[in-house]
A and B are shown apart, each in its own frame.
Chain A
Amino acid sequence: MLYLRLAWRNLWRNRRRTLITVFAVAFAGFFVIAMRSLQTGAYDNMVRNTVGTYTGFLQVHQDGYWDEKIIDNSFEESESIRETILQQKGVSGVSPRITGFSLLSYGLKTRGVQVEGFNPDYEAQLELEERVVAGTGRPEYGAVIGSDLAEYLKVEVGDSLVFLGQGYHGQSANALLPIEGIVSLSSPMLNQNTAFINLKMAQYVFAADNRITAYAINTEPDADLYEVESKIREALNKGELEVMNWQDMLPELVQSIQADSAGGILMAGVLYIVVGFSLLGTFIMLAAERKREYGMLIGLGMRRGQLMRLALLEASALAVLGVLLAVVLTRPLTLYFHFNPIQFTGQAMEALREMGMEPSMPASIDWSIPLTHGAILLVLTLGISLYSLVSIKRIQPVNAMRS
């Protein structure tokens, strides 16, 4: 209690300096936490748009399919396999899919698209029904296409599209299918280049009866992806089937997140250095101001270790106050931008869409962000307070009291 009481009161001996130091820590914390929350939120959004609503967090497919995505690398659909996967802890949904490529034409307009055959009853990711702009999100005999693709082809529900592609074992995969629905997909890339048709219809078009190219798997929000992956691999125990997580399937997405994140980390590092020097200045002043007092306390019989503990407590209190203030200031901001994402407009929106990203930036409200950066600031402050500890270690009571 003695140390706590002394440390707390010492802190307020120079109220202005303490407040400036606390605000310096709080400013760094606020800026870094806000920046990382927005960045992480944007990454989560990218992953959710690309992975959560399309590929799935995990996929089971024929060994080699991911390297050569052709219908010939499909495998026999089996209800028992689907059930086995579904029974694994952490799995929330399993969707059988057949994916092929086709030229899609309407009138004089043509575009190469990905054709996604899916079973609306089992589908766990696509959530097309929630994204319907016109018609339906549950195709039966026709196709559902992205709104950007519809706009490019100048089509609407009821128009018929020509599909021209290659099916299983080189058979031709041609069809004339009506548009049953138009959906707005959050991933601009998918919205421009994808057509969804019923799984049975897709198997028929691609001449791949009862065959699929993948089971797309969704996991529970708190599930450990790698653990679920390993459990599924163990449960299937079939050499010809491969289990892959989204990070292995989409390394370019992982890399682009890492590259962008590196900029944020660099920025945070620069801020930490600036704040670090400000803290060092404070501790140098503190040590110089209190030299006489430290000398007197050692003279009276206070051990250097006890004095160091006191100095550490003061430094910790400074850091904790700064970090708490940063969290208190950041939390409402991140909560607001989590529920009201920043929407990019104009050129920024176009640029993001061209990069295949949604022009929207929600903030992450993951507690690990303030906790991580709070801990970094605490360690930084305590590390810099080593200066005070070294000063205490070197103090000679007689010289100090003369100063």
Chain B
Amino acid sequence: MKSTETVVKVENLRKTYNADAVAVHAVDGISLSIEKGEFTAIVGPSGCGKTTLLNMIGGLDRPTSGDVYVQEVSIGSLSEGDLIDFRLKHIGFVFQAYNLLPVLSAEENTSFIMQLQGKSKEERSQRARQLLKNVGLEGREGDKPAQLSGGQQQRVAVARALASKPNFIIADEPTANLDSHSTSNLLDIMARLNEEEQMTFVFATHDQRVIDKAKRVITLEDGKVITDEIRS
């Protein structure tokens, strides 16, 4: 039997918004765990709580109740500053709108996180170049985001997310702004990283192409898990 390592554990997680005094349960008592090497897609209709769940798993948002454990650390118990440091060291992010710094080149955007981590210039440069090569952007290291296509920018965002050697990567609708060719390209890269490096990916997505590639699909509705399907 293949040994597993729990990367993320979610326990009875709730997020309630008080919209005009009417409580809205964006996430309503979700419990689940994500193991190392999973390629998980969280799916469901708009407003079902995918992004809210992902934000809480990534420590970007605090739950109303319940807790998230990353590598057995309760991120709910961390202070604001410690949580920022925790994200820096343990979690990689890929956003829908790429969110690259427009004034930095592809290589600088990739090495930015490592610079925040205090890595040496040589190490940063070497790793950033290798990561950009891995995502198929060799030779484009000096290009600014404005000089890259949407698909290329998202690949830089993946390289940036990998730069800090995180425990897992959260990707919120990473293909929403991409054409089919770029989407296929990006998914191939992520799938390869998942296969070869056992990198754990958690997606929130509507995109059937992402869902088709996923090894596990969690379906949400009204803030609750409706189905949790593990594919062979």
Interface of A with B (CB < 8 Å)? Answer: 2, 6, 9-10, 13, 292-293, 296, 298-304, 306, 397-398, 401
Given contacts A306-B116, A397-B60, A401-B95, are A301 and B85 in contact (CB under 8 A)? yes
- B55 within 8 Å of A (CB atoms): yes
Contacts of A10 in B (CB 8 A): 103
Secondary structure of the A contact surface, majority rule: helix
Q: How many residues of B contact A (CB 8 A)?
A: 24
In chain B, positions 51-71 with a C-beta closer than 8 Å to chain A are: 55, 58, 60-61
Write out the residue numbers on chain A whose beta carbons fall within 8 Å of the beta carbon of B103: 6, 9-10, 13
Contact A301 B60 (CB under 8 A): no
Identify A398's interface contact among B60, B89, B113, B116, CB under 8 A. B60
Contacts of B164 on A, CB cut-off 8 Å?
301
Q: Which residues of A contact B88 (CB under 8 A)?
A: 300-302
Q: Is the pair B104, A301 in contact by a Cβ cutoff of 8 Å?
A: no
Decide if A2 touches B93 in the complex (CB within 8 Å).
no
B12 within 8 A of A: no
Min CB distance A256 to B, Å, is 54
- A9–B93 Cα distance when bound, in Å, is 24
Which 9 pairs show the lowest CB-CB distances between chains A and B?
Answer: A301-B88, A9-B103, A296-B99, A398-B61, A301-B87, A397-B60, A398-B60, A2-B115, A398-B55
Residues of B within 8 A of A299 (CB): 58, 60, 87, 93
Residues of B within 8 A of A (CB): 55, 58, 60-61, 81, 84-85, 87-89, 93, 95, 99, 101-104, 112-113, 115-117, 160, 164
Whole-angstrom distance between the alpha carbons of A96 and B197 in the complex? 96
CA distance A398 to B51 in the complex (A): 10
- With a CB–CB cut-off of 8 A, which chain B residues contact A302? 84, 88, 116
Residues of chain A with a CB closer than 8 A to B61's CB: 397-398
Q: List 21 A-B contacts (CB under 8 A).
A: A6-B101, A6-B103, A9-B103, A10-B103, A13-B102, A292-B99, A293-B99, A296-B95, A298-B84, A299-B60, A299-B93, A300-B116, A300-B160, A301-B88, A301-B113, A302-B88, A303-B84, A398-B60, A398-B61, A401-B95, A401-B99
Counting chain B CB atoms within 10 Å of each CB, which of A2, A6, A292, A299 scores highest?
A: A299
Q: Give, as a whole number of angstroms, the nearest-CB distance from B92 to chain A.
A: 9
Q: How far is the CA of A397 from the CA of B101 in the complex (A)?
A: 16
| Cα separation A363 to B60 with both chains bound (whole Å) | 59
Give complex CA distance A9, B103 in Å. 6
Chain A, residue nearest B161 (CB) = A300
**Contact assessment for B93 and A300 in the assembled complex, using a CB-CB cutoff below 8 Å:** yes
Known: A398-B60, A398-B61. A301 touches B84 (CB 8 A): yes
CB distance from A25 to the nearest CB of B (A): 22
- Name A9's contact: one of B87, B104, B113 (CB within 8 Å): B104
Q: A292-B99, A303-B85 are in contact. List 20 more A-B contacts (CB 8 A).
A: A2-B112, A6-B101, A6-B104, A10-B103, A13-B102, A13-B103, A296-B99, A299-B60, A299-B93, A300-B116, A301-B85, A301-B88, A301-B89, A301-B117, A301-B164, A397-B60, A397-B61, A398-B55, A398-B61, A401-B60
Nearest neighbor of B99 in chain A, beta-carbon distance: A296
